Amino acid sequence: MVQTYHLHVAGRRIPPASGRMLQSTNPFTSQVWAEIPDASAEDVAAAVAAANRAFREVWRDTPGVRRAEMMLKLATLIESQAARLSRIESTDNGKIVRETRPQMLWVGRQLRYFAGYADKLFGQHVPLDQPNTLDYLSLEPFAVVALITAWNSPLALLANKLAPPLAAGNCVVVKPSEHASASTLEFAALVEEAGFPPGVFNVVTGGAETGRALVEDPGVALVSFTGSPQVGREIAAMAGRRLVPVKLELGGKSPNIIFDDADLDKAVVGALAGIFGATGQTCVAGSRLLVQRGVLDQVVPRLAERARNIRMGDPLDPATEMGTVANEPQFRRILAAIEQAREAGARLVTGGRRAEGAGLGQGYFIEPTIFTDVDNGSQLAQEEIFGPRAGDHPVRYRRRGRTVGQ
């Protein structure tokens, strides 16, 4: 049965004004499992207006103690629903429940932490050498903050962005990735249950046009975005034209480093977890591995053996160790990057293909992949692939230099 979701605006679930819906595909079954609204500029404007109205009429004057109470109640609710929400998120983006369930608890932790700030945000008196002049600092909320999240960890990323502005007295409009919106829309129901006034928390779903309308809406006072550097540049430019502050969490090419004095058993486990955890779909994935020459020939075989034994399967099965790539466009992008690496001369140690086997045939599975002899100037070494190059992100090794970095 296909689940149909609606926008969440001013405390109400409403269909998009355009009537357009987007299909969400379960990356394990390749079947459509949900439909989400494709919000128009009109829908976005309504959400931003609702947020500004809630800010002016209710939220900015709500005492910090009361804001903290609601945040703590929301934390308790999401913790009680962690199992259900983790299954929804894993169904939507293919990440295994062993990873999504702890992330639900992280959401609660973030809300609890920043709830502690809600009644402690205040200004100060600044003493001057002019006795007839009063100088003081007053901390004021921005008003409406746009939060744009990515598909790899929708609720964990939302928690990072949401808890601070709520504590400070801001209202928000959230635009989750069109590839993984379900858990955010489910979260909206818990915000309602926690007693937040209508309009404090709003969700608009859709693609690039929805995001563009949100960033360019004159009622938005600050933008927070997690995603690719390319889109981050576009958002920064759009926000810059309005002189609106923007917070960007973009991709990276994080290296792990193994020196010859390391405990290799532990180092290999750490490197393996760094790249193949979350199927490599994390901005802090150790997508490059720099190994000192003296131990390279010991590290590569150990990594390859462990990578071949990673258990892939149903993301909802607690025994599964690595799930699918989150969506078909990403799946095709990773396979293309693997082929490009081969053509560029990198040596494929293991993996490199669509994974096959019992229960894997319909899903976006990629074998855990390891390359070595990688040119540091190549696409493989320089660009974030966001997958396990064996599952999404490739793990790379270099043979040059007596010590890492030379």
Distance CA 205, CA 180 (A): 10
**Would you name the residues annotated as active-site residues?**
249, 283
Taking the alpha carbons at both ends of the chain, their separation in whole angstroms is 57
* Other Cβ atoms within 10 Å of 137 Cβ, number: 9
The identity of residue 171, as a single letter, is C
CA distance 31 to 24: 8
Nearest to 229 by CA among 252, 196, 210, 258: 252
Residues making up the chain, counted from first to last: 406
Tokens read off for 186: 């489910």
DSSP state of 196: P
Which 8-state DSSP code applies to residue 322? B
Give the contacts of 353 (CB within 8 A, at least 6 positions apart): 366, 367
Nearest to 384 by CA among 268, 269, 277, 282: 282
Tell me whether strands 347-350 and 370-372 are parallel, antiparallel or unpaired: antiparallel
Strands 222-226 and 144-148: parallel
